[in-house]
Amino acid sequence: MSLQINANMKRRYAAEKRFKAYAITALALAGAFLIFFFTDMISKGLPALQQAEILVDVHYNDTSMKSYKKAVDKPYRSIVSRGYLRTLPLYMEDHPELMGTDQSQWVITTGDVDQYLKGKPNRLKKRHQKQIDQLLSEGKVQLAFNVGFFTNGDSKMPELAGIKSAVIGSIYVLLLTIAFALPIGVMTAVYLEEFAPDNRLTQVIEVNINNLAAIPSILFGLLGLAIFINFFGAPRSSALAGGLTLALMTLPIIIITTRASLKAVPDSIREAAFGLGASRWQTTWHHVLPLAMPGILTGSIIGLAQAMGETAPLLIVGMMAYVPDAPGSILDAATVLPAQIYTWAGESIRAYEERTAAAILVLLSVLLSLNGLAVYLRKQFERRW
Amino acid sequence: MKTPKISIRDLKLWYGESEALHGINVEFVENQVTALIGPSGCGKSTLLRCLNRMNDRISGCRIEGEVLIDGDDIYAPEVDVVQLRTHVGMVFQKPNPFPKSIYENVAYAPRIHGLAEKSSEMDELVETALRRASIWDEVKDKLNSPGTSLSGGQQQRLCIARTIAVQPNVILMDEPCSALDPIATAKIEELIDELKGEFTIIMVTHSMQQAARISDQTAFFYMGDLIEFGETGKIFTQPEKQQTEDYITGRFG
């Protein structure tokens, strides 16, 4: 008898060990994928933080004013960024004191020169390659920190393209989403959980809210298009239309997490307050909501982070437009970070590849910090009762 | 016989389809301790919660009959439940202080009811309430620490202080000592004895010794019926009904 049990024990331990091994393998696999993804993104994205510059004499005079190409000497014309040269006439208008002078300064090169210097595939002609090699040995070409990536909007010339307009668009959209979804969502949940009677109607509402949370996000885009743009006439591509659409999408998540956090507040707290003669509203506002706050904040931040990374519904309301200038108000055409990534990923010019990866890194760090904030708030507010 | 503070007339109560109280008639006397005893599910807590309309919160709960406090029906349509609960305070089974400071726990209700205008008045009110609940000496140096940091018995006395800070005339206690150890229980019982000079106390208890020790009147419930009601001494020594005797002698329950 005991012999049989001993034999069984061996088998049971073996099975347990196997099970543990499966779990560890799964974890290791997930970790490997994550590490692979991050190394790939970082190795692709980091070069975008540097930008090739060249030391040339820039002629500030009337000739350059009429034809911006003539601001630099002929041999440099095809390796200096055309996009930069184009901005010169305006710059000269703003700085008349420079007129008639020649300034030796670092200016950004074309995307091809940049890619050539970074050893990446490019379409730089042989003679220009030689010219760059020559300039490099003279120390007149360098890779410098790419300030433009953070201070420029989108551009059709990769060396000038930056994420500023997308970041500002994302901030507008996020603020609008918070402004609409958070109060409406929390108040809805408070009503359903603390005030509404438990009847057929509220049950139907509850089921529908749960279903809404599982609807493909692109449908919210169609809804936003129909309601906010076609019916209420919000400007197409505007942060207003996008923010409202994302607010619609985030609402069910906020309602569900808020209800769960309200449910988690022990009923003894409500009884204590009611027993002292507090009204329903006082009970909820003074006691239940503060206790549910950490859960509500965590859930809402995760919902908002999800909204921030969302692209599909924004495509429908026109927020993947080419937006070179940062939006000045919520009514201007704007784009958001994920939409910018989508646009760049579709570009045929190779220099956009590293910018796409760098923009993904920026988006990821924002999302990670949002999730970090959620964890921090939960720890901060967590209390026992 | 003293004047009845609370009169319950033919009170019936349903939770959905099931009838939990089958026509209760009883009168509770002013400034006395009345103990409600009986086995689990007999309706004693349900009856207690009818007295401050705590049952209103339960959906599907329906009531028939009258509950008169000082002659006024508390189920009359014009009665404000919030106001009623300031007259009829409640202490619960599990100590449930708010997760706020000891001071805030006591000051909360007077503040929402506007009982103290200046902060000095409030300080006085808080101190009086804590003193009357015999917990002042233990907490006077840590009024700002959380109420939940106290021991179970202290928490329960804090809850009593919180209740009497509103100056009710009736205090309902739903098994106030069932979560406490014997020493803490003795302190609460002592406190209840002191408080009955000012308040009408109705208390649900599972402990028959406790009912015998501190109550003036005892009501025995069984299966939603009031079986016997009378002077505690009489109920415990010469009960009229067989069921009462069986219960208090420990033959069932």
A382 and chain B in contact, CB less than 8 A: no
CB of B227 closer than 8 Å to CB of B252: no
Q: What pLDDT is stored for residue B253 in this prediction?
A: 58
Following DSSP, what letter does each residue of A177-199 receive, concatenated? HHHHHHHHHHHHHHIIIIIS--S
Centre a 10 Å sphere on the Cβ of residue B208 and count the other Cβ atoms it contains: 19
- Look at residues B155, B5, B184 and name the one whose alpha carbon lies nearest to residue B91: B155
Following DSSP, what letter does each residue of B180-234 receive, concatenated? S-HHHHHHHHHHHHHHTTTSEEEEE-S-HHHHHHH-SEEEEEETTEEEEEEEHHH
Domain extents in chain A? 2-46, 50-152, 164-381
By three-state DSSP, how is residue A301 classified? Answer: helix
Phi, psi of B72 (to 5 degrees): -105, 135
* Maximum Cα–Cα distance across chain B: 58
Q: Which amino acid is at A19?
A: F
Residue B160 included in any domain: no
Task: Copy the structure tokens of residue A240.
Answer: 């207003």
Q: What pLDDT is stored for residue A326 in this prediction?
A: 82
Residue B164 included in any domain: no
C-alpha–C-alpha distance, residues A165 and B138, integer Å: 62
Q: Which among A271, A273, A385 is the nearest to B148, CB-wise? A: A385
- Look at residues B208, B204, B213, B211 and name the one whose alpha carbon lies nearest to residue B253: B208
- Look at residues A194, A141, A99, A166 and name the one whose alpha carbon lies nearest to residue A325: A166
Relative to beta strand B200-204, strand B33-37 is parallel
ipTM of the predicted structure? 0.90
- CATH code assigned at B56: 3.40.50.300
Contact B83 A277 (CB under 8 A): yes
CB of A136 closer than 8 Å to CB of A109: no
Q: Provide the shortest C-alpha distance from residue A48 to chain B (in Å).
A: 51
Spell out which residues of chain A touch residue B52, defining contact as CB-CB under 8 Å.
275
Spell out which residues of chain A touch residue B99, defining contact as CB-CB under 8 Å.
269, 291, 383-385
Residue B105 included in any domain: no
Could you read off the pLDDT of B176-225 as tens digits, one per residue? 998 888 988 999 999 999 998 899 999 999 888 899 999 999 999 999 89
Per-residue pLDDT band for A23 (boundaries 50, 70, 90) equals: very high
Cα separations in angstroms, A216 against A211, A241, A249, B199: 10, 18, 9, 61
C-alpha–C-alpha distance, residues B38 and B229, integer Å: 12
Helix (H) or strand (E) holding A27: helix A2-45
Could you read off the pLDDT of A289-330 as tens digits, one per residue? 999 988 999 899 989 999 988 888 998 888 877 888 888 888
Nearest chain B alpha carbon to A287: B98
Q: What pLDDT is stored for residue A385 in this prediction?
A: 44
Residue B54 included in any domain: yes
Judged on CB neighbours under 10 Å (0-12, 13-18, 19+), B111 is middle
Spell out which residues of chain B touch residue A383, defining contact as CB-CB under 8 Å.
99
Could you read off the pLDDT of A234-250 as tens digits, one per residue? 888 889 999 999 999 99
By three-state DSSP, how is residue A295 classified? Answer: helix
* Maximum Cα–Cα distance across chain A: 106
A286 and chain B in contact, CB less than 8 A: yes
User: Which residues 50-89 on chain B approach chain A with CB closer than 8 angstroms?
Assistant: 52, 54, 57, 59, 82-86, 89
List all residues 6 or more positions away from A338 whose beta carbon is below 8 Å from its beta carbon: A308, A309, A310, A311, A314, A363
Nearest chain A alpha carbon to B107: A276
Residue B123 included in any domain: no
Domain count, chain B: 1
Could you read off the pLDDT of A89-129 as tens digits, one per residue? 888 888 888 888 888 889 999 888 888 888 888 888 888 88
Domain range for B23:
4-96+170-248
Could you read off the pLDDT of A218-276 as tens digits, one per residue? 999 999 999 999 999 888 888 999 999 999 999 999 999 999 999 999 999 999 999 99
Per-residue pLDDT band for B2 (boundaries 50, 70, 90) equals: low
State the architecture of A164-381 in CATH terms. Answer: Orthogonal Bundle (1.10)
How is the beta sheet containing B18-29 ordered, strand by strand? B18-29, B4-15, B61-69, B72-73
CB of B172 closer than 8 Å to CB of B90: yes
Helix (H) or strand (E) holding B12: strand B4-15
Judged on CB neighbours under 10 Å (0-12, 13-18, 19+), B63 is middle
Nearest chain A alpha carbon to B106: A276
Q: Which among B83, B94, B108 is the nearest to A276, CB-wise? A: B108
Residue B104 included in any domain: no
**Can you say whether residue B68 is alpha, beta or left, with left for phi > 0 and alpha for psi between -120 and 50 degrees?**
beta
Could you read off the pLDDT of B182-192 as tens digits, one per residue? 988 999 999 99
